[in-house]
Structure 1
Amino acid sequence: MAGKPNVVLLVTDTTRRDDASDSAVAPTLAELAEAGTRATRAFSTAPWTLPAHASMLTGSYPSKHGAYTGHERLDESLPTLPALLGDAGYETVCVSNNTWLSSASGFDRGFDEFRQMWQLLQSDTSLGEIVQVTEGSRVDAVARELFEGSPLVNGVNALYQSLVRNRDRNDDGAARSTRWIENWLEGRSGDQPFFLLANYIEPHLEYRPPRRLAEEHLPADVTYDEAMAVPQEPWEYLAGNVTLSDRELRALRGLYRAEIAAVDEQIAAIREALREAGEWEDTVFVVTADHGENVGDHGLMDHQYCLYDTLVHVPLVVHGGAFTGYGDLTELVSLVDLAPTLLDAAGVRADDARATFQGRSFHPATHARSREFVVSEYMAPQPSMAALEHHVGDLPAHVEKHDRSLRAIRTRSHAFVRGSDGSRSLYDLRSDPGETTDVAASNPRTAADLGETLDEWLDSFEHANVDDAVTIDGRRKAQLERLGYLQ
């Protein structure tokens, strides 16, 4: 590559590594991995969108950047990847389909263009989502929100939600996002390199893949109509109010895999758009996920209340520049490593900012030492027990146990998880990759050693001061509830 390369970071929301690594599900991703670099042991810092994206952009763990439950905002205390690339002469653009990745959550910092695809006209007022998710008092809610900010902008966004976004219930913004990116690439002029971050949310509940893809990925004994009739109510399932058979869970897994396949088609379309714009050969192209998903795994649904590999082991493929033809990267990698790695790919030093990073570059030219461990953090239950009880009724004891924070430390051989309630779990990943058997009692020395390592790590940096809670107003609560984040 001559000069500074473009950097494209595609985040396929809620995508677990095992399904995304199946070439029958994600053939484009498999092609990129074959031609580029595939990190086979890549892990998220958190099991949900807000803290995971904050880690990608700041190179720091949730304990340091402070964007998590109770303080749902990325503050300005740490430098961000888009701001650093912007200072180095990059045009910076974000295309988001997840309301956590929004200007209201502080993620627009450093971006020249920040597109919230649930809106036609960009605005901090999120009335368009109110039209979709508010029941019963919808007219009153719309009336209240219409006159916040610009009534004209709000009205246009409400019509856009009703007439355009709601027309195709099998698309959560993927096709519109890709079209916007295609048009943006076609309309660019000049030689300025760019950084593009795009979030595709299709694999997130509720699963509504196109019928053609669903029928391709459903089990042979399940029809499309049967699969779409299976309840997709994670909190009712958790509480035991909804019981799903093995066949129904397999049906949901098929729908989920079809959603990943749908995003894979968008990845192919963006690759083609870069080729048509003459930018592909000058682009470092990254595909990853913010976290995974439980589809009945460990008795759980959605992506909360645990730090199993089903939630934190994520796909990570890089193509372009020094990553082309590199093959499999089998060392431990964390999402905090993306920021320094992509700065290296762009040839940007940013020494002061790098001093704040907890990540280390895995760029092939750095020859950095391998990680001994990665950490994942779940700083508070989301939804809270109170929110769950409000929505599903009295909670059984097996649900109340999730009222805790969790931290996990993972080596190549073991995963150790510690809860704020004093719980400790240890899994031997060599003999039990599915993390089904807790061996902490039979391996006390290993559990103690990993606990000590976790404590040393926690003592090695200054933690974020997030005593000031972030207030989420009614309209954002409605948006988030649509995604299953009960408030």
Structure 2
Amino acid sequence: MDDIVFVTADSVRADYVDEMEFVSSFDVETGMTAAQYTRPSLASIHASSYESVLTGRVNEPTLAETLSAAGYTCLGCSPNPNTDATFGFAEGFDRYDSFIEPGNRGSGLRQYLANFDLLRRIYYKFYPPHAKSENRPRDREVVDQAIEWFNAADGPRFLWVHLMETHRPYGAGDDAVSEQLDQKAFFKPEQLTDAEEAEIERKYCDSLERADENVRHLLDGIDSDDPKFVFTADHGEGFGDEGYYFHQPQLRRVDDCLVQVPVVFDGIDAEGPCSLLDLTPTIAASAGAEVADRWDGNDLLETETDYTITIAPWHEQATVLWQDFERRLVSRDADVTFEHRGDKTEVEDEVPEELQGQLRDLGYVE
């Protein structure tokens, strides 16, 4: 059985993938996310599940559980509190690290207050997304840990790495967009000058170049001659295209800039536009593992995807996008219920106290 390397990078738009020279050297397809921000999107990828979008949790069976049952050693490195084991991301992994610092707590009122524009402005004034960027490990450190784990593990091996520096503010220190410019773009995008818009875009493109080098470094560093390689992003990013900057999950937007992301399959004979829910069944099938009946995505080795659904949840409502790659149908801010075998799931978003501070400091306002 072949080793499998699965890399996700935060906030990479499909129409910016050319900034990633190494990644774009592969055949790049367009993937449609199942959600508009990190936790529900990545949860739905690993579980191939619309229910995971609504709950923000990885349902079982996960990709790692399935590959583990097929004989793989499963390893995961993701420096983001949205992917903490609390939300089910560690299930099936033999070693897993979300690099969460214990004891960093936030207010239980944060989710409620984030619904109000004035209070959200005050919140970001004191807790910009830069607050935790300096303390979070750099992506190169995460990649080096992943390489160390991979090379020490028994094969066949499955490795998932999530890269964070492509997330606003696009790095740390001098690499990042300044706090002042970040605040202006978030709250008053109409007041940005041409030079400021260009600076934000340049910082973003620089972060994509660094992510690209980290992907190359990862594949060069592992002791596997010809692993299967899959790359995608959890969601895209806004740069004033639709009147806003960044992905701002509270807006419940499903614009192309947020839901269209690059997808690479190398060593797996899959192609064509797809839903990111298709990744787990396709990876599992390519490894000879079981394709679970519960999964909502398609095994692209057997089935072509002719439509996708994106759900943008926030608190008790969600915007829903159906599209067949030519037509789009959008229902905004709807009450959404998912039914499966008699069980009903509605939009919910419970975050443990010990993770709220971590999410706050990274700029999430969920």
- TM-score bucket (shorter structure): 0.7 to 0.9
Q: Aligned to 1:315, what secondary structure does the other structure show? A: strand
Residues 466 and 334 (structure 1 numbering): CA distance in 2 closer, same or farther, change over 3 Å?
A: same
Matched, 1:288 2:232: yes
Structure of larger gyration radius = 1
Q: 1:203 aligns with which of 130, 151, 166?
A: 166
Q: Aligned to 1:338, what secondary structure does the other structure show? A: helix
Q: 1:43 aligns with which of 32, 36, 56?
A: 32
Q: Aligned to 1:231, what secondary structure does the other structure show? A: helix
**Is there any run of 5+ residues in structure 1 with no aligned partner, and where?**
120-125, 135-165, 215-223, 382-402, 423-454
Matched, 1:175 2:140: yes
Matches within 5 A, 1:226-237: 228=178, 231-233=181-183, 237=185
RMSD: 3.1
Tell me how far 1:241 sits from its aligned partner.
8.8
Matched, 1:112 2:94: yes
CA distance in structure 2 between the aligned counterparts of 1:169 and 1:269, rounded to whole angstroms: 22
Q: Aligned to 2:191, what secondary structure does the other structure show? A: coil
CA contact (8 A) 1:332 1:374 kept: no
CA distance in structure 2 between the aligned counterparts of 1:115 and 1:239, rounded to whole angstroms: 34
Matched, 1:406 2:354: no
Matches within 5 A, 1:456-467: 464-465=344-345
CA distance in structure 2 between the aligned counterparts of 1:461 and 1:375, rounded to whole angstroms: 19
- Where does residue 299 of structure 2 map in the other structure? 361
CA contact (8 A) 2:11 2:166 kept: yes
Tell me how far 1:107 sits from its aligned partner.
1.1
Residues 168 and 98 (structure 1 numbering): CA distance in 2 closer, same or farther, change over 3 Å?
A: closer
Fraction of identical pairs, as percent: 22
Tell me how far 1:310 sits from its aligned partner.
0.5
Per-residue CA deviations over 1:206-252 (Å, capped at 9, x if unaligned) read 223686xx6xxxxxxxxx9xx6475112xx65544983223212210
Tell me how far 1:414 sits from its aligned partner.
1.9
Matches within 5 A, 1:75-224: 75=59, 78-119=60-101, 126-127=102-103, 169=134, 172-188=137-153, 190=154, 192-208=155-171
Q: Aligned to 1:297, what secondary structure does the other structure show? A: coil
CA distance in structure 1 between the aligned counterparts of 2:98 and 2:135, rounded to whole angstroms: 19
Q: TM-score, normalised by structure 2?
A: 0.83
Q: How many residues align?
A: 340
Per-residue CA deviations over 1:444-476 (Å, capped at 9, x if unaligned) read xxxxxxxxxxx9x97787665358863420x31
Q: Larger RCO: Structure 1 or Structure 2 (Cα < 8 Å, ≥ 6 residues apart)?
A: 2
Residues 420 and 116 (structure 1 numbering): CA distance in 2 closer, same or farther, change over 3 Å?
A: closer
Q: TM-score, normalised by structure 1?
A: 0.63
Q: 1:483 is aligned with what amino acid?
A: L
Per-residue CA deviations over 1:110-163 (Å, capped at 9, x if unaligned) read 1111112345xxxxxx23x56xx99xxxxxxxxxxxxxxxxxxxxxxxxxxxxx
Q: 2:256 is aligned with what amino acid?
A: D
**Is there any run of 5+ residues in structure 2 with no aligned partner, and where?**
108-130
Q: 1:7 is aligned with what amino acid?
A: I
Residues 208 and 170 (structure 1 numbering): CA distance in 2 closer, same or farther, change over 3 Å?
A: farther
- Where does residue 314 of structure 1 map in the other structure? 261
Q: 1:377 is aligned with what amino acid?
A: I
Per-residue CA deviations over 1:351-385 (Å, capped at 9, x if unaligned) read xxx2111111113xx3x2x322111001226xxxx
